[in-house]
Amino acid sequence: MERGISGFLATVLVACSLFYSAAAQGAAAGLPDIAENEPLVILFEKNQKNLTAADRTMIQRLIAARKPSSEKMILVLGYSDGRGNPKKNLEISQQRAEAVRAEILRVSGAAPQHVLAFGRGAQGPIGDNRRANGRARNRRVEIYWAQAVDAAGKIIKERPLVSPAVAGIVQTARSLIRRRALNEAVQELDRVRGQGGEYDSNWQAVYGIAGFYAGMEVQLVKQYLSRALELDAFNQEARDYLGRIVAREKVLDGTVNAHMGLTEQDPLSVSSDGQIHEYLRLFGAVPISKYKAISKPLEAWHCRDRQGRPRVYYFDRSQVYTWAFADNRPGAVRPADATVARTTR
């Protein structure tokens, strides 16, 4: 993970919990009793990747109380046991997660971006892979309701809503930035700084973007953009511009160059399209088309270099979701660039 991105990932926590109402409804209907902060777990037979009728019933009852949304998303994590080829294990764990995701989307009618599915292969075993009953426990999918909280542990969606006046000023500032009236944009944003602006993700993002174009000190720009992502981990404006800054820094210090990311086995890690476009611009590559892998967060961008020759760059976006993969079990090694709040098993 890029050092610039780690700043905000280290302050973005994800608290995964099931609503009491869903748990109570499930218990009344004969589902396993699911305590708060525990996932719903679906087990699979060896080599199985399809859902049974009982599995579908569990999923339907889980989401009956609430439809996934931007405020309350669903994380679906698929696993395998520890036997066999690691690549095959990863594939079947992804297929299991995708099967559950497809059922959730079918039943709920939710937007696809509000249900995330990841295969983790044999990572994070909860049973002993040396024993048949342990392997059976490891062939599973975990379903979490997920909501972001800030560094103080406060649920982001419970923050006071920004007033219409602040929202209007932020939109005005956006328009001024598009016209390159940067001083005027900053003045407008400063007017509502003490009226809730500092608690609004969009205010923080737009202030950082204005600073980006105005030549504000880079670390200060990164602070605004990082703060925007603390308040809303899905603020795409902030993620794009922070990614652009990181791309510039890495190319400038030689960490990344135009001869990297040329194979599927050695892709460049990125956080957004903005970062991808910045890399391609700095490499002198003109994008023509892109291909996105279905089963993994890998993109292949077909380009032409400065001499007009075809070239393909590969980008890995999996680290955007580092918090979804974190392992908080006692003794586990936590990723240095991510802090998460996850349930313990």
- CA dihedral for 287, 288, 291, 292, sign (positive or negative): positive
- Residue 194 belongs to a domain: yes
Question: Residue 196: which CATH number?
Answer: 1.25.40.10
What is the spatial distance between Cα 255 and Cα 171, in angstroms, rounded to a whole number?
36
Query: Token digits for 216?
Result: 């504000």
The backbone torsions φ and ψ at residue 108, rounded to the nearest 5 degrees and listed phi first, read -85, -25
Q: Are residues 133 and 24 in the same domain?
A: yes
- Residue 25 belongs to a domain: yes
Q: Are residues 110 and 150 in the same domain?
A: yes
- Residue 326 belongs to a domain: no
Q: Are residues 210 and 271 in the same domain?
A: no
Provide mean pLDDT across the span 290-312: 88
Provide mean pLDDT across the span 189-199: 85
Q: Are residues 64 and 128 in the same domain?
A: yes
Contact 63, 25 (CB under 8 A): no
Query: Over the chain, what is the mean pLDDT?
Result: 78
Which pLDDT belongs to residue 152? 46
- Residue 339 belongs to a domain: no
Q: Are residues 192 and 236 in the same domain?
A: yes
Instruction: For residue range 128-163, list pLDDT tens digits in order.
Output: 899 999 999 999 998 887 765 444 444 444 445 567
Q: Are residues 133 and 71 in the same domain?
A: yes
Q: Are residues 29 and 145 in the same domain?
A: yes
Q: Are residues 291 and 205 in the same domain?
A: no
Which pLDDT belongs to residue 317? 81
Which pLDDT belongs to residue 320? 60
pLDDT tops 50 at residue 335: no
Instruction: For residue range 100-121, list pLDDT tens digits in order.
Output: 999 999 999 988 888 888 888 8
Q: Are residues 117 and 230 in the same domain?
A: no
- Residue 344 belongs to a domain: no
Q: Are residues 40 and 147 in the same domain?
A: yes
| Confidence at 184, pLDDT banded by 50, 70, 90 | very high
Q: 155, 181, 207: which is the final residue of a domain?
A: 155
pLDDT tops 80 at residue 5: no
pLDDT tops 70 at residue 180: yes
Instruction: For residue range 232-265, list pLDDT tens digits in order.
Output: 766 889 989 999 999 999 999 999 999 999 999 8
* Residue 314 structural domain: 256-320
- Residue 333 belongs to a domain: no
Among 51-55, 268-272, 279-283, which range has the highest average pLDDT?
A: 279-283
Q: Are residues 211 and 147 in the same domain?
A: no
- Residue 329 belongs to a domain: no
Q: 155, 175, 205: which is the final residue of a domain?
A: 155
Instruction: For residue range 15-47, list pLDDT tens digits in order.
Output: 333 222 333 333 333 333 333 346 789 999 999
Question: Residue 82: which CATH number?
Answer: 3.30.1330.60
| Confidence at 123, pLDDT banded by 50, 70, 90 | confident
Which pLDDT belongs to residue 38? 63
Q: 100, 128, 155: which is the final residue of a domain?
A: 155
- Residue 67 belongs to a domain: yes
What is the spatial distance between Cα 272 and Cα 250, in angstroms, rounded to a whole number?
15
Q: Report the percent of the chain where pLDDT is more than 90.
A: 47
Which pLDDT belongs to residue 126? 84
Q: Are residues 263 and 305 in the same domain?
A: yes
Total number of domains constituting the chain = 3
Question: 0.85 exceeded by the pTM?
Answer: no
Provide mean pLDDT across the span 173-186: 94
